[in-house]
Structure 1
Amino acid sequence: MPITTLSSREFNQDASGAKKAATNGPVFITDRGQPRHVLLSIEEYRRLTGDRRSIVDALGMTGSEDIAFEPPRATIGSRPADLD
């Protein structure tokens, strides 16, 4: 996987070239010689992140309005403390 490095100036002058390079591997964009950003293809980004759903999305359960759910009533009893 080739790695491409561009200065911020080069990136600004040829953004389409940077996008093409990102299809082959990450494109590092430097500012004053230091890497500051990385341009990735969406496929590579999804591979790295696992394209996971957030917990909010997972618990949203679209269409769950029609599910009948009646949990049994909880009963909480007391018992003497075991101090032994």
Structure 2
Amino acid sequence: MPITTLSSHELSRHLGRARRAAKDGPVIITNWGKPAHVLMSFDEYKRLTGKKKTLGELLAYPGTEDVELPLPDCSELAKPIDMS
């Protein structure tokens, strides 16, 4: 994934170039030589900010009714103790 860097002045003059570059990777926009903003595709933004699904949500999807989820036997987790 290539990273493109443009100054804010270059961005204002070459917005189309920046938009095309953002399809392939992030575009770092600088102010006075320092990174200030990042331009990216909306798909990449959604990927980065998307909410992670819980196990329950994933198992609620259609077609997952027959999914077997191997769970450890409770005896593997706890051992009986002698209370005498």
Question: Which bin holds the TM-score, normalised by the shorter protein?
Answer: 0.5 to 0.7
* Residue-by-residue CA offset, 1:54-74 (whole Å, 9 max, x unaligned): xxxxxxxxxxxxxxxxxxxxx
Moved over 4 A (4+): none
Alpha-carbon distance in structure 2 between the residues aligned to 1:23 and 1:51: 22
Alpha-carbon distance in structure 2 between the residues aligned to 1:23 and 1:8: 19
Alpha-carbon distance in structure 1 between the residues aligned to 2:29 and 2:2: 14
* Residue-by-residue CA offset, 1:24-68 (whole Å, 9 max, x unaligned): 00000000000000001000000000167xxxxxxxxxxxxxxxx
Structure 2 alignment gaps of length 5 or more:
53-84
Q: Which residue does 2:31 correspond to in 1?
A: 31
% same residue: 56
Q: Which residue does 1:59 correspond to in 2?
A: none
Q: Which residue does 1:79 correspond to in 2?
A: none
Larger Rg: 1 or 2?
A: 1
**Normalising to structure 2: TM-score of the pair?**
0.59
One-letter amino acid of the structure 2 residue matched with residue 29 of structure 1: I
Q: How does 1:1-84 map to 2 (within 5 A)?
A: 1-50=1-50
* Secondary structure in 1 matching 2:11: helix
**Normalising to structure 1: TM-score of the pair?**
0.59
One-letter amino acid of the structure 1 residue matched with residue 46 of structure 2: R
